[in-house]
């Protein structure tokens, strides 16, 4: 995208202010010379004291005051007012120079200031070039019109002043072009710096630990979301006294412990290096560190478990097949058939554990599709009843929902999540009844799987989603962990709630 240069208004306003002051002082000077008869003081041989001279002197002074007032009140139009004023200055100053015999005293140089100022404010080459042309024409024509032969201004002097006017204009054009290029480069660099600053802030805000940049006076220059969440400190505020004391005491970069708002925090300080006066404070909760350690351990356990499960799969399949064949034998009595049934049952359970372990160890890459919840839930209910009804007695209620309501989710993942949650609700519920409700919110669709049951112990509630944690003698403790991981891979969230004396597992699915 092309970058268009914008003016440095502060510099332009200062330039216009000085220019207005020069114009006002010049007006006062002409008034003083004309009315106080100070022509001898300034070295003038004569002054044409006529109506035209008197009018121009008064007009230039009043006009200078009006331009000053207009510039003060209409600051947004300052540049336009300045350019118009300079266009008026040129003929008036040349006329006054001629009428005051300023030509012989070298006053013909005054338009140089007007031309230079116009070049500085306009920065348009053709407009700038028009000024020395107009000044040369005015100087030549007005000198012929107003001066007698005795007072006439030599053509060579007019030519010399004209060359000076053009030289100033050309220098102004060149400076204007250089300024234009410099402004383009500056604005391009400024845009890059702003983009990099925004990118850096976004990256820092995504960090899972807190970062605070502060100066030598302990004022916060930058703070990311995590650090604000931990400390409740805002940008440009001073660090709290307790943190300053800890920073002063920390002479090295070793990690140390501090309690902030009742939570254990690990922090370390990176002090300013070189010309920078910014230091960095890194903050991380002990809970986060424990979770990272747990995730690392889980990854190791998962890899090991997957290897063992894979090696056990084939032998277990062989044992299961052999047990099935034995059961079909006509030579077995009832007690032996009972033993083979026990073998088959435990092999099935072992296979389920192996499947859960393999499922835990592999990534859950979603194949997202549009799911109409009314059709999906009714099919899920029928499939679940057909498969599980033979083993237990239960009831599944799906509360009425909008038949057109849909979500984007991996259908296999959603089916497995609901299957696991429904199965858990039946096993752990007090009456075997499960209710599935849908809530259509502005940004989310909520799917609640509810069942009746006694309140969980706090330690049990905190450990629900931890792998291998289970309160059931036949469970693996992997079901809820796998469900939550599948939700994460689909940009959804799974949480446990205790609402109206019911256990509720709630899925938050973004629209």
| Structure confidence by residue, pLDDT tens digits, 88-112 | 999 998 888 888 765 666 777 888 8
Question: For residue 436, what pLDDT band results from cuts at 50, 70 and 90?
Answer: very high
Alpha helices in 36-124 (DSSP H): 39-42, 51-73, 78-99, 111-122
Helix or strand or coil: residue 269?
A: strand
Is the pLDDT at 507 greater than 80, yes or no? yes
Identify any residues that bridge with 441 across adjacent strands, giving them in sequence order: none
In this prediction, residues 169-187 reach a mean pLDDT of: 82
- Structure tokens that stand for 201 in this block: 């802030």
Question: Looking at the predicted structure, is the pLDDT value of residue 147 above 60?
Answer: yes
Q: What structural domains does the chain harbor?
A: 9-187 (no CATH), 205-285 (3.30.450.20), 290-361 (1.10.287), 368-510 (3.30.565.10)
Residue 117 in this model has a pLDDT that exceeds 90: no
CB-neighbour burial class of residue 419 (10 A; exposed 0-12, middle 13-18, buried 19+): middle
∠ CA 450-358-477, nearest 5°, is 40
Q: Is the pLDDT of residue 437 over 90?
A: yes
Higher pLDDT residue, 28 or 152? 28
Query: Residues of the chain with pLDDT > 90: what percent?
Result: 14
CA-to-CA dists, residue 31 to 27, 47, 62, 307, angstroms: 6, 12, 11, 103
Residue that the structure tokens 């800890």 belong to? 246
Model pLDDT, residue 233: 86
How far lies 185's CA from each of 78, 137, 271, 284, 358, in Å?
Answer: 25, 38, 33, 41, 58
The predicted structure's pLDDT at residue 2: 45
What average pLDDT does this structure show over 136-156? 73
CA–CA separation, 27 and 25 (whole Å): 5
- pLDDT tens digits, 29-77: 888 887 766 555 555 555 667 788 888 888 999 999 999 998 888 878 8
Question: CA-to-CA distance for 413 and 416, rounded, in angstroms?
Answer: 5
DSSP secondary structure letters along 418-439: HHHHHHHHHHHSSSSEEEEEEE
Of residues 224 and 361, the one with the higher pLDDT is: 224
Average pLDDT, the chain: 81
- Exposed (0-12), middle (13-18) or buried (19+): which is 315, by Cβ within 10 Å? exposed
Q: How far apart are CA 387 and CA 228, in angstroms?
A: 51
Find the farthest-apart pair of alpha carbons in the chain and give their distance in angstroms, rounded.
Answer: 150
Looking only at the bridges linking them, the beta strands covering 502-510 and 444-452 are antiparallel
DSSP string, 2-60: PPPP---HHHHHHHHHHHHHHHHHHHHHHHHHHHTT-HHHHT-S----SHHHHHHHHHH
């Amino acid at each position: 995208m092309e970058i268009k240069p914008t003016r440095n208004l502060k510099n332009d306003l200062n330039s216009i202010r000085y220019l207005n002051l020069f114009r006002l002082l010049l007006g006062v000077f002409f008034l003083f010379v004309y009315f106080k008869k100070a022509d001898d003081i300034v070295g003038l041989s004569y002054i044409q004291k006529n109506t035209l001279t008197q009018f121009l002197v008064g007009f230039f002074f009043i006009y200078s005051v009006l331009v000053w007032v207009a510039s003060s009140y209409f600051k947004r139009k300052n540049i336009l007012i300045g350019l118009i004023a300079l266009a008026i200055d040129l003929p008036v100053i040349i006329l006054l120079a001629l009428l005051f015999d300023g030509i012989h005293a070298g006053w013909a140089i005054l338009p140089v200031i007007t031309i230079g100022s116009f070049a500085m404010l306009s920065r348009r080459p053709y407009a700038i070039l028009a000024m020395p042309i107009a000044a040369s024409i005015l100087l030549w024509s007005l000198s012929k019109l107003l001066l007698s032969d005795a007072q006439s201004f030599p053509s060579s002097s007019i030519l010399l002043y004209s060359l000076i006017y053009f030289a100033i204009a050309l220098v102004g054009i060149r400076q204007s072009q250089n300024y234009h290029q410099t402004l383009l480069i500056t604005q391009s660099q400024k845009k890059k710096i702003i983009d990099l600053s925004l990118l850096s802030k976004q990256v820092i805000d995504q960090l899972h630990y807190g970062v605070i940049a502060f100066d030598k006076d302990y004022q916060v220059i930058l703070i990311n979301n995590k650090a604000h969440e931990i400390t409740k400190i805002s940008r440009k505020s001073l660090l709290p006294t307790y943190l300053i004391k800890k920073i002063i005491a920390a002479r090295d970069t070793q990690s140390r412990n501090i309690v902030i708002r009742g939570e254990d925090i690990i922090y370390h300080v990176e002090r300013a290096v070189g010309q920078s006066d910014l230091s960095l404070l890194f903050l991380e909760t002990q809970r986060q560190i424990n979770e990272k350690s747990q995730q690392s351990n889980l990854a190791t356990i998962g890899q090991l478990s997957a290897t063992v499960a894979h090696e056990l799969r084939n032998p277990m399949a062989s044992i299961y097949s052999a047990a099935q064949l034995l059961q079909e034998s006509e030579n077995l009595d009832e007690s032996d058939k009972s033993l083979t049934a026990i073998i088959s049952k435990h092999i099935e359970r072992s296979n389920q554990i192996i499947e859960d372990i393999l499922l835990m160890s592999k990534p859950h890459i979603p194949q997202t599709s549009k799911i109409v919840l009314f059709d999906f839930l009714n099919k899920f209910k029928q499939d679940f009843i057909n498969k599980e009804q033979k083993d237990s007695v239960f009831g599944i209620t799906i509360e009425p929902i909008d038949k057109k309501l849909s979500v984007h989710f991996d259908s296999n993942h959603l089916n497995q999540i609901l299957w696991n949650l429904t199965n858990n609700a039946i096993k752990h519920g007090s009456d075997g009844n499960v209710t599935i409700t849908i809530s259509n919110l502005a940004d989310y669709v909520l799917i609640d799987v509810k069942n009746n049951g006694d309140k969980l112990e706090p330690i049990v509630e905190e450990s629900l989603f931890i792998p291998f944690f289970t309160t059931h003698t036949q469970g693996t403790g992997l079901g809820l962990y796998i469900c939550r991981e599948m939700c994460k891979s689909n940009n959804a969230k799974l949480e446990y709630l205790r609402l109206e004396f019911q256990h509720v597992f709630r899925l938050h699915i973004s629209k």
